[in-house]
Amino acid sequence: MGSCSKEHEPAAPVLEWTTDIATEAPLFVVPETTVTIGYAAQHVQAITTDALPDGWNVRVDEEAQAIVISATADAETRATLTVTAVGEGDRTVSQSVALYCLNAFDDPNGTFVLNEGNMTTENGSLTYISPEGYVWADAYRTVNGTELGNVAQDMAFCDGKIYVISQNGNENAVGATFENDGMLVVMDARTLKKTAAYTNQDLAQLDWPTHIAVLDEQHIYIRDNAGIYRFDATTRQLTFARDPKRPPKADS
């Protein structure tokens, strides 16, 4: 008589992530860097991935049991990665991950928050809140791998760039130094990539700057305790504007 036994039916493939992946937010990828997702697989003959949009790259490292993901600066912001484990008899199981490329910070519905940091222990930071509500607590450092100056005070937008002025820059009033990009940092408004930076030594005339306004690269106005200075980034020249009245502070 025939048997209904399933003893010889191939085992179903198993695919699980070994990397902790948040379910409420996508996996964020900084352009030109790699993100690795670990996986565990059983009863599997092959691991495959679906094609990603232009600018995204993915490869499977079966020996390390890892999925390696990267994106270019012009990649589509959003993508979905689907990984499939193929077992015997063409049985399959898949896992998907939402991806988000950190290559565009210029959406008018996004929000920046400039954080000054602590005068003695930490540098300033720039938080970005995307239109979807995702929060990057230190977007500038995430993109550049370096930090803004100590006690960040003000920021201005002009001609596709962001200018951030900090009070202490890379050294405070008592001589303590900080590892950061200096007193004035300029970055691309879309990518947040640093385009220029000026240390305390570059802006030695300034005394505790608090505000900045920018018309163009030759007219960068900075307010400090003495008054208002004009900085020309093309010549690196800082000139005091001899106004007859001392400009009031915002809280005065």
State the distance between the two ends of the chain, measured CA to CA, in whole angstroms. 98
Length of the chain in residues, anyone? 252
Read off the tokens for 131: 């239109």
Task: Give every strand in the sheet of 125-129, ordered side by side.
Answer: 111-115, 125-129, 135-136
Task: Give every strand in the sheet of 219-223, ordered side by side.
Answer: 211-216, 219-223, 228-232, 237-241
Q: In sequence order, which ranges of the chain are alpha helices (DSSP H)?
A: 139-144
Encode pLDDT of 197-227 as tens digits. Answer: 999 999 999 999 999 999 999 999 999 999 9
Cα three-residue angle 69-105-215, rounded to 5 degrees: 145
pTM over 0.85: no
156 has which bridge partners?
Answer: 163
Question: pLDDT: is 30 or 241 the higher one?
Answer: 30
Could you tell me the CA-to-CA distances from 118 to 172, 182, 205 in Å, in that order?
A: 11, 15, 23
Could you tell me the CA-to-CA distances from 136 to 28, 37, 58, 129, 222 in Å, in that order?
A: 10, 20, 24, 7, 28
The residue extents of the domains of the chain are 14-101, 111-241
- pLDDT for 247 equals 55
Could you tell me the CA-to-CA distances from 227 to 150, 201, 211, 236 in Å, in that order?
A: 21, 19, 11, 19
Encode pLDDT of 169-203 as tens digits. Answer: 998 877 889 999 999 999 999 999 999 999 999 99
State the average pLDDT for the chain.
92
Read off the tokens for 196: 């220029």
CATH topology of domain 111-241: Methylamine Dehydrogenase; Chain H (2.130.10)
Question: What are the two backbone dihedrals, phi and then psi, of residue 5, each rounded to the nearest 5 degrees?
Answer: -65, 145
Nearest alpha-carbon partner for 126 in 98, 149, 104: 149
- Whether the per-residue pLDDT at 143 is higher than 70: the answer is yes
Nearest alpha-carbon partner for 214 in 165, 145, 144, 180: 165
CATH number for the domain formed by residue range(s) 14-101: 2.60.40
State what percent of residues in the chain have pLDDT above 70: 92
Q: How far is CA 55 from the centre of its chain?
A: 18
- pLDDT for 172 equals 82
Q: Among 72-76, 112-116, 148-152, 243-247, where is mean pLDDT lowest?
A: 243-247
Task: Report d(CA 130, CA 156) in Å as an integer.
Answer: 19
- pLDDT for 244 equals 43
